[in-house]
Every structure is written in structure tokens, then in C-alpha cells.
Amino acid sequence: MDALTLLRQGPVMPVIVVNDAAVAVDLARALVAGGIRTLEITLRTKAALAAMRRIRDEVPDAIVGAGTVRTRAHLEAALDAGAQFGISPGLTPELAAAARASGVPFIPGVATPSEAMHAQDEGFNILKLFPAEAVGGIKLLKALAGPLPELRFCPTGGIDINSAPNYLALPNVLCVGGSWLTPDDAIAAQDWARITALAQQASALATR
């Protein structure tokens, strides 16, 4: 699977912060039950790697990857834990080299035209616009489409169920990333039915 195919799996990529790996499997199953298969587990907690490993082992219908990948070591640890893709908030030469060598889809984050051009020079045409709302969101994506027509994006950061359709209507947007599918209070309460309902709502969003 390449990055283009990965982001075409569904209209929303949930950005998931897991503080307790013990709930990872139930959380993943709730999302998959709602039609969301591609899961980004952010490397922001000590439980993230264990969560990825458990999901990979026990939820075969999920496509699990690592978010907040900032270094070669992060990527290697995620791959060891079974990650099937990687997503970063930005891109460095070392990370670009590691990503190319990894053999898995990798989606680097960009926030400006120059960063997008640098990522393209490094071999990446599928990018994450981050933090989307803070750097111009829809207006920036429309502006980038003219001079950089080959690029496709997964905008992430500040997007919710209400703004997602406007992003998904853009021809250079494949999907959006968002944390609203996995609210902290729902995870704490193990309210998997609520998370499945949020996933169903997200998976029903139209894409181009």
C-alpha cells in the first residue's frame, strides 16, 4: 500500500492519543465498527507503542500507524511495534531518508509552500497540512493547488465534523485528520458505543 491508497481508505483519519494500552483494542474495534479502519496512534504517550502492537495483533481489520514521528528512532520504534504507516508534524533530511528506507507509507507535515516544495524534492507528494486551521486551512489549500498541482493533502489540526466537509470538497484533499472521533472523556468512560457512533458519522462524509 502506498500513501495515496492509504488516505483513500476513508474520509477521516482519527488522531488518537492513548494513555492506557489496555483500552487500545476496544478503542480500535469501536472505530472499525463505525467504518474507520485507518488509525493514527500518536507517539505522545508512553503507552503508544504498546497500543499499536496490541491493535496490530488483535484487530486485523485496522490499519494502524504512528503519528508525531519526529526522528529516525521514532520511526524505527513504531515499525518494531507493527506500525503500517507513519505521519510526522514536519520533515527533516534524516527523517526523510529513514521514511524512504522504511518501505511503509509516510506522510510528512508541511505548513508553507516552501516546506511543501522541500517535501516534494524529498520524494513525497502526499502531505499532511499541519496545523491546518492555524496556517490558513482551506484558503491555503486552494492557493497551493495552482502552483503545486501534483500534491495531495491530509489537513489536520483544528478540524471537526462541521468543518471537515468543506475540506473534503477540495480537489487536493484526500482525507482529513481529527481528534474528535476519540474524545478523552469517552475513552475514560470506555463508552465504545459513542466512539462507534462518531466513527459512523465521520465515515459517512463524502469525498471526491
CA–CA separation, 59 and 32 (whole Å): 9
In contact, 59 and 82? CB cutoff 8 Å: no
In contact, 20 and 48? CB cutoff 8 Å: no
Identify whether 128 is a catalytic site residue: yes
Q: Measured between alpha carbons, how far apart are the two ends of the chain, in Å?
A: 20
Exactly one of 128, 133, 142, 150 is catalytic; which is it?
A: 128
Exactly one of 40, 58, 76, 94 is catalytic; which is it?
A: 40
Q: Mean pLDDT per segment of 10 residues, for the chain of length 208 residues?
A: 96 97 98 98 98 98 98 98 98 98 97 98 98 98 98 98 97 97 96 98 83
Length of the chain, please? Answer: 208
DSSP H helices, 59-136, are: 72-80, 93-102, 113-121, 132-135
Whole-number pLDDT of residue 206: 75
Identify whether 46 is a catalytic site residue: no
Whole-number pLDDT of residue 207: 60
Between the CA of residue 7 and those of 2, 134, 190, what are the distances in Å? 9, 22, 27
